[in-house]
Structure 1
């Protein structure tokens, strides 16, 4: 009996010790840290997911789904994830390229059906690659919620959509780029943008989400709030999930696409976004499905020349976690902040989404999102 008790004590001691050793997951530590962070900073809610060895090992939600009812945020609630949405659009383009229906070097004018040329450099072709990598010399100064902004037949100020440098020689992040990409997906595939992404990306990976709010369960939407620094209060953002039913009823294929916001309108949970991230980590394949080729996945992740380290809707950074070079994307809109970053060689990644938090930034990342990523990494990955 004494020997058995000693053995049990020794096993218990080893297990207890393992919890505090590097390399062992410490979810309690992560949760304590996140709860403390939410007390220190202004945060409505946080939903997180952690991937290790290409598998989701942790998924949890903190805070509130909405402030009005005080409903707790659940890990199955979905968010408009903002600019991480661009990678879904780029993934769809890579599929069409693999089918030889498109080329990255195609002329945007031919693809969208009206002239896309920087008036200062009329002989320089603006290509699909330029647009996907934000090297098109196009800007958002005329807006991006309709293609009328850049269409010479619709906007007398169309020339203001272009910067003063030659396409391909400079970088400017531009939402209009990706709303045009959505249009190209429609023109090339013959499917409405939201349906194409559902049928060819979400459904094969068994993910719940989409760009069309009318086809999703609104009870699962996490309300989004913008923090007003001057008044130190959160203001509800109704536009995040606004129905576009009337516009969809009068939809013009190959032109009305910005209604769905290919540049930022995906709605999905943190857990399902993590599953999508795994597909990119595994170079295009997940859950028994080949979504795109290894070559296409690597091309998306490869940063083009320039200090921005941006590829095709996937950026590369060494500024999020010290000593680690990560691939992924951030998002911010309506008060929401999101991040999806992974280390393809070490096979881990982290997704963090907040439906409202203080808008402060540290080294190019929202401070609340950044600190949450660090907590999850230190507790569950390191």
Structure 2
């Protein structure tokens, strides 16, 4: 949902305890064990209570694991089966679903969204310029996240300690009671409909649709609603049928009742204080609940898709997904950091200035990232369940990433060398 601002993240990488040992050399297995031991040691000194990691190359899953804890009371360990919300990394599923719907003949990327919606979405400053599906997928729709979005999207799971939990500061968002849970259609009508409860003029930029990159959570959720109307299937069922089930991501889902809640982690305000459990009214933009085990399958598919060997989409669709769509004139303050995912945009997939690609995410108590190195053909996943101040976060992150960098080279070489 709300994007994390990432100050430097070097390549991140990891290794799989669940790899089939008989297929790999003794050296490969030993490298995995060493990586696990060293990450376990690092986990004792980081500001994160728990974190998950996964690493793939273009052939296989190299590593997946978790470290630390998910719950103070039970001391439950964070491992590769721990379920956590991955925040805005969830948006990458929207792009896959759009292109699958296009393959099925249900829509076209350049269709105006009003051909599908039950209510009109029109930028009042450019009423003659239609907003298209491609605009939503590349964050050029001119739709802007407003206070109405920020203050109504996050909903508590239950009423436990409700009075106190509603007072917790998660600025710029806020917690809402369980009774505030509504469908994405109702939410979007309230935000984007001219008579909507939370509508304001600021929801549209004074820029023509298609002209300016402006990261929009509302726009992403609107893309999911367009998918629902074009296919006649709810977004959660659509993505389950065409992404989760084919990849056997059996521990993943979009709501608490679709996952094993006993494996769900708390997220934490700091090293000592948990947040209450929460979900999102705009679940497509940040509400995927998944594990390091399942995410390793997903990033492996994306790496293969980038190389023209994916199974979820055709080569042509994956080529569209991974093609940078924007130009310099589409940006005002363009992020040129090598590891930023906002130098350019594919179809919901972000690109850095070097051409490497991925997506980041952040919500109360968590940070997440998937990142792919196009030259080494390595994909990485990293997620934490704890908020830290910037200095401590950077220190802990660097310690993990440095180790990941070192072992990614070893594991990739040993994987490629196996018979």
1:374 Cα deviation from its structure 2 partner: 4.0
Gaps spanning 5+ residues in structure 1: where?
1-17, 228-232, 243-257, 319-323
Deviates more, 1:200-209 or 1:181-190: 181-190
Q: Partners in 2 of 1:280 and 1:269 — Cα distance? A: 16
Match of 1:139 among 128, 140, 144: 144
Determine which of 180, 197, 203 is the counterpart of 2:222. Answer: 180
Q: Structure 2 CA distance, aligned partners of 1:359 and 1:109?
A: 43
Q: 1:279 to 1:361 in 2, by over 3 A?
A: farther
Of the structure 1 ranges 75-84 and 292-301, higher mean CA displacement relative to structure 2 is found in: 292-301
Contact 1:301 1:314 in 2 (8 A): yes
Q: What TM-score do you get using the length of structure 2 for normalisation? A: 0.72
**Is 2:403 the partner of 1:375?**
yes
Task: Give 1:312's aligned residue.
Answer: 347
Aligned residues: 333
The 4+ residue runs of structure 1 with deviation greater than 3 A are 23-41, 155-158, 365-371
Please give the residue correspondences for 1:122-271 in structure 2 after superposition, counting only pairs within 5 Å. 122-141=127-146, 142-143=148-149, 145=153, 146-147=187-188, 148-155=190-197, 157-208=199-250, 209-227=252-270, 233-240=271-278, 242=279, 259=281, 261-271=283-293
User: Structure 2: which 5+ runs fail to align?
Assistant: 1-25, 154-186, 329-333, 335-342, 411-419
How big is the alpha-carbon RMSD for the aligned residues of Structure 1 and Structure 2?
A: 2.8
- Structure 2 residue matching 1:235: 3-state secondary structure: coil
1:300 maps to 2:338 = no
Q: CA deviation at 1:289?
A: 7.5
Q: Contact between 2:301 and 2:310, CA under 8 Å: does it hold in 1?
A: no
Q: Considering Cα pairs closer than 8 Å and 6+ residues apart, tell me whether 1 or 2 has the greater RCO.
A: 2
Cα shift at 1:99: 1.6
Distance apart, 1:332 and its partner CA? 0.8
Q: Which residue of 2 aligns with 1:110?
A: 115
Match in the other structure for 1:90: 95
Q: 1:272-291 deviations in whole A, cap 9, x for unaligned? A: 112111111111799x9831
Whose strand fraction is larger, Structure 1's or Structure 2's?
Answer: 1
1:283 maps to 2:291: no
The structural deviation recorded for 1:47 is: 1.0
Q: Is the 8 A contact 1:239 1:334 kept in 2?
A: no
Q: Deviation of residue 155 (structure 1)?
A: 3.7
Within 5 Å, give how 1:36-115 maps onto structure 2: 37-115=42-120
Question: TM (normalized to structure 1)?
Answer: 0.79
**Whole-Å separation in 2 of the counterparts to 1:169 and 1:284:** 27
| Inter-partner Cα distance in structure 1 for 2:135 and 2:214 | 11
Indicate the structure (1 or 2) with the bigger Cα radius of gyration.
1
Q: Structure 1 CA distance, aligned partners of 2:397 and 2:355?
A: 17
Residue 178 of structure 1, CA deviation? 1.4
Change (3 A) 1:51 1:200: same
Query: Residue 210 of structure 1 aligns to a residue in which SS?
Result: coil
Q: Is residue 351 from structure 1 mapped to residue 356 from structure 2 by the alignment? A: no
Whole-angstrom CA distance in 1 between matches of 2:84 and 2:210: 34
1:78–1:221 Cα contact (<8 Å) kept: yes
Q: CA distance change for structure 1 residues 283 and 167 in 2, over 3 Å: closer, same or farther?
A: same
Distance in structure 2 (CA, Å) of the matches to 1:302 and 1:378:
30
